[in-house]
Chains A and B, each alone.
Chain A
Amino acid sequence: MAVEVYRHDVIVVGGGAAGLRAAIAAVEADPKVSVAMVSKVYPMRSHTVSAEGGAAAYVPGSEDSLEKHLYDTVKGSDFLADQDCAEYFVEQATAELTRLEHWGCPWSRNEDGSVATRPFGGMTVPRTWYAADKVGFHMLHALFQHSMRFDRIVRYDENFVTRLLVDDGACRGVVAIDIRSGAMRLFLGRAVILATGGAGKCFPFTTNGTIKTGDGMALAYRAGVGLKDMEFLQYHPTGLPGTGILITEASRGEGGYVINAKGERFLTEEHVKATGNDYGVGKKAELGPRDMISRAEILEIEAGRGLKGPYGEYVLLDLRHLGEAKIMAKLPFVRELAKTYIGVDPVHEPIPIRPVVHYMMGGVDTDIRGATPMPGLYAAGETACVSMNGANRLGSNSLTECLVFGARAGVESVAFSKSSADGNEARLRGEAETEGARIDTLRGRKKGGEKMSVIRHEMQLTMERGCGVYRKQDSMNQAVAEIAPLKGRYADLVLEDTSKVFNTEVLQALELGNMLDVAETIAIAAAARRESRGAHACRDYPTRNDAEFLHHSMMFFTPAGPRLEKKAVTITRFQPEERKY
């Protein structure tokens, strides 16, 4: 089948908050630039849409300051964040959220018409802008609708990128499947921006939707770009058992309590005094950082103070004392979710919750400009690891991160495209045709002994056992040992659907391949980090070890297997100190 060729200046892969912001920034930077937005789903389906709580930025005239936001972020990261990048982030945050307000985002308001803020985990001052409890939905729709003004953003909806094209050391384009027709498409450009989100679906219980399969991370990894800090996975403390559906941190920001089976608020200072169980959150109680609260919940469950359910053990989130009026004003979506998906009305009953995989701090290695070490390749949003979140991200920083670094990557990619050259089209076309042949062979490949759902399920269980909230050295080592044979079995997959038109089976197979690559890097990086820092909590090494492990981990693809390296952390303003709240 012939390859269809499309030519643009900048190619954005992924249509969520970061991708849309990058595309808008690119066309605004230069009126002549043409941007391709290639997404495997229509942009309004991107997983940004499910974010609930809010987006953080300094509010001018408030008691907040850029320095406080920076300090909170760096401390929250357990001092693994690159502080120059975090500083750039806090400096740009207000402008980005303001811009979005101008573009129609319906931020919730104070009586005087100014933008309202709410308290959030790990933030010393309330600086989280919000839109009821559907901030991701409103931000995504505002961005998408605003992007429709620009004819020079050409969308290729439901196109699945399978390979990055590298020529002469630089990224010159991508190959994608047109999901609808099954045709292979070659997108030629001077710069590529990866904004495909994280990879929560490597795990069985996650807030993430089915599309979060680490596609961009795997693409960059296979092209030789390093994946940074992959061992750091954020477990969100309040996900629904079973489905993993997110119950926003804002429910704690508005005053919700986290309680155990005995009805005790085990995160408060009073409880610490009474029982001696100190989870490190100090005065912040339920508004402590996510890693600490997730660990507290697991410890309570292990101590026998959890409740048992068909999907494992859980604790409770109690919103009853907030009252129906406040819940309907500030947390209406939370009420709807609890009623629909777990049959509980939070006005009358506490909500069952447990930690679930939510966000990946790690990702494609980028710098403050959103650039990877490969010329012409950029990344932004959850796909990227700048790193501004280090070992643990504060809630409501990531939506702002998508805007700040999406915009930066967009601007930088345009600047780069002016000085770079096109790739060798004939050679790239040949690569695309080879890729097309590979996909054709995979599609409907009836011979094979392994079933996709079995491999996917086993991968998820392996990752849950080895890379949970608490990790043990031997279980991490076991996870590493289990992934390689899973990849071997993946090569023997049987596929039934021979159709070219909207074949979602072959897409799932490609996504599973991406997830296996990403899962492998997570397991190896986790097993190598013999300390506890941020979200990586190792029972065999329970303390932070700055002397030996104050560095980023870097995973590189080699034909012989993944290679682990170190990368230094940029420390400018705040020397690492004990992380106590």
Chain B
Amino acid sequence: MANDGSGEMKTRTFVVTRFDPDKDQVPKTQSYQVSCRPEWKVLDALNFIKDEIDPTLSHRWSCRMAVCGSCGMNVNGAPKLTCKTSLSEYGDTVEVAPLANFPVIRDLVIEMDGFMEKFKAVKPWIIVAKEKAVDEGTNRQSPAQLAEFKQFSMCINCMLCYAACPVVAKEPDFLGPAAIALGHRYNMDSRDEGAAQRNEIFRGEGTVFSCSYANECSEVCPKNVDPAAAVNQAKLNSVIDWATSFVVKREK
């Protein structure tokens, strides 16, 4: 087995971004020497730094199994889930910075409320004209119908896609990959009837058409959600929806 601890320890230099708004005008970096176990992820090294070297380092993490989405950071310039990224991929120096494209609260901790606003803006819940009663039982949904949106429901909200997206870097109103993928997930769910509302949001201020298919979001996604697919499918769907809205009268 690979992680049997039989590899070599390796000392690496971690160049970590530090920022305390009460003390620092702008972010700076601080270097730490860490003797790393062979099976460690980047997060293990950060926790070692906090526990043993510098308790003033602030970073977010929780599950350490790549499902809670807390620990996204930029490592050597690329957005990574630090609990899933092996140090063996890196050489002697590892630069750890907060996630790109986000305002920074402290050290490696970024401001998440901008994301939460975009997230809520796409109405990520089941919209139906008439709520189903519990005693009517569950909706029928075939495995094929489930497969149509399943992939887009796998997003752990780690926001690596926002750190990778060139449009997010330049257009603050853009809804962004994860939010659009989530809206698209509901549009594709056979139980939902809210596609018209969401497509209007997709054509609105945060428009999906700002996306020019860089595909960076899908390249960095640790869960293979393929948000680029969602955004570009959403483009076509929102156009079709716009066109049919002239033909088919619908309620708001």
Tell me the A residues contacting B by CB distance below 8 Å. Answer: 41-42, 44-47, 49-50, 60, 95, 98-99, 101-104, 106-115, 134, 137-138, 141, 145-146, 148-149, 157, 180, 209-211, 242-243, 245-246, 309-311, 333, 336-337, 340-344, 349, 352, 452-453, 495-497, 499-505
CB-defined contacts of A45 to chain B, threshold 8 Å: 60, 62-63, 68-70
User: Min CB distance, B132 to chain A, in Å?
Assistant: 5
Interface bits B138-167 vs A (CB < 8 Å: 1, else 0): 111111011001100110110000000000
**B62 & A211 in contact (Cβ 8 Å cutoff):** yes
**A349 & B1 in contact (Cβ 8 Å cutoff):** yes
Contacts A114-B140, A342-B3, A501-B20 hold; do A495 and B134 have CB atoms under 8 A apart?
no
Contacts A49-B68, A109-B141, A505-B55 hold; do A137 and B156 have CB atoms under 8 A apart?
yes
The binding surface of chain A is classed by DSSP as: loop
Interface bits B56-86 vs A (CB < 8 Å: 1, else 0): 1011111111111110000000000000100
**B131 & A499 in contact (Cβ 8 Å cutoff):** no
CB-defined contacts of B112 to chain A, threshold 8 Å: 42, 157
User: Min CB distance, A106 to chain B, in Å?
Assistant: 6
**A209 & B2 in contact (Cβ 8 Å cutoff):** no
Q: Is there a chain A Cβ closer than 8 Å to B137's Cβ?
A: yes
Q: Is there a chain A Cβ closer than 8 Å to B9's Cβ?
A: no
Interchain Cβ contacts under 8 Å between A and B, 22 examples: A42-B116, A45-B69, A47-B62, A47-B68, A49-B156, A98-B134, A102-B191, A106-B150, A109-B142, A145-B182, A209-B68, A245-B65, A309-B4, A336-B66, A342-B3, A343-B1, A343-B2, A499-B20, A500-B22, A501-B21, A502-B107, A505-B55
**A109 & B4 in contact (Cβ 8 Å cutoff):** no
CB-defined contacts of A310 to chain B, threshold 8 Å: 4-6
Q: Is there a chain A Cβ closer than 8 Å to B23's Cβ?
A: yes
Closest 3 CB pairs of A and B: A343-B2, A310-B5, A113-B140
**B140 & A106 in contact (Cβ 8 Å cutoff):** no
User: Min CB distance, A421 to chain B, in Å?
Assistant: 34
CB contact between B3 and one of A102, A341, A495 (< 8 Å): that residue: A341
- Count how many chain B residues have C-beta atoms less than 8 Å from C-beta atoms of the other chain: 65
User: Min CB distance, A94 to chain B, in Å?
Assistant: 9
**A134 & B126 in contact (Cβ 8 Å cutoff):** no
**A496 & B55 in contact (Cβ 8 Å cutoff):** yes
Q: Is there a chain A Cβ closer than 8 Å to B174's Cβ?
A: no
CB contact between B5 and one of A95, A311, A340 (< 8 Å): that residue: A311
User: Min CB distance, B50 to chain A, in Å?
Assistant: 8
CB-defined contacts of A341 to chain B, threshold 8 Å: 3, 65
Q: Please report the C-alpha to C-alpha distance between residue A501 and residue B143 in the assembled complex, in whole angstroms.
A: 48
CB contact between B124 and one of A106, A112, A148, A209 (< 8 Å): that residue: A148
**B62 & A41 in contact (Cβ 8 Å cutoff):** yes
**A98 & B22 in contact (Cβ 8 Å cutoff):** no
Interface centre among A103, A452, A497 (most CB of B within 10 A): A497
User: Min CB distance, A107 to chain B, in Å?
Assistant: 7
CB contact between A50 and one of B52, B54, B68 (< 8 Å): that residue: B68
Q: Please report the C-alpha to C-alpha distance between residue A499 and residue B56 in the assembled complex, in whole angstroms.
A: 8
Q: Please report the C-alpha to C-alpha distance between residue A336 and residue B192 in the assembled complex, in whole angstroms.
A: 30
CB-defined contacts of A505 to chain B, threshold 8 Å: 50, 55-56
Q: A108-B146, A111-B142, A114-B140 are in contact. List 10 more A-B contacts (CB 8 A).
A: A46-B68, A109-B146, A134-B154, A141-B153, A145-B124, A145-B182, A180-B105, A243-B64, A344-B1, A495-B55
User: Min CB distance, A428 to chain B, in Å?
Assistant: 28
Q: Please report the C-alpha to C-alpha distance between residue A115 and residue B139 in the assembled complex, in whole angstroms.
A: 9
Q: Is there a chain A Cβ closer than 8 Å to B109's Cβ?
A: yes
**A98 & B105 in contact (Cβ 8 Å cutoff):** no
CB contact between A95 and one of B3, B65, B106, B134 (< 8 Å): that residue: B134
Q: Is there a chain A Cβ closer than 8 Å to B226's Cβ?
A: no
Interface centre among A99, A107, A108, A501 (most CB of B within 10 A): A501
CB-defined contacts of B156 to chain A, threshold 8 Å: 44, 49, 137
Contacts A49-B68, A209-B64 hold; do A106 and B149 have CB atoms under 8 A apart?
yes
Contacts A104-B186, A104-B189, A344-B1 hold; do A134 and B67 have CB atoms under 8 A apart?
yes
User: Min CB distance, B191 to chain A, in Å?
Assistant: 7
User: Min CB distance, B37 to chain A, in Å?
Assistant: 9
**A109 & B143 in contact (Cβ 8 Å cutoff):** yes
**B52 & A453 in contact (Cβ 8 Å cutoff):** yes
User: Min CB distance, A39 to chain B, in Å?
Assistant: 12
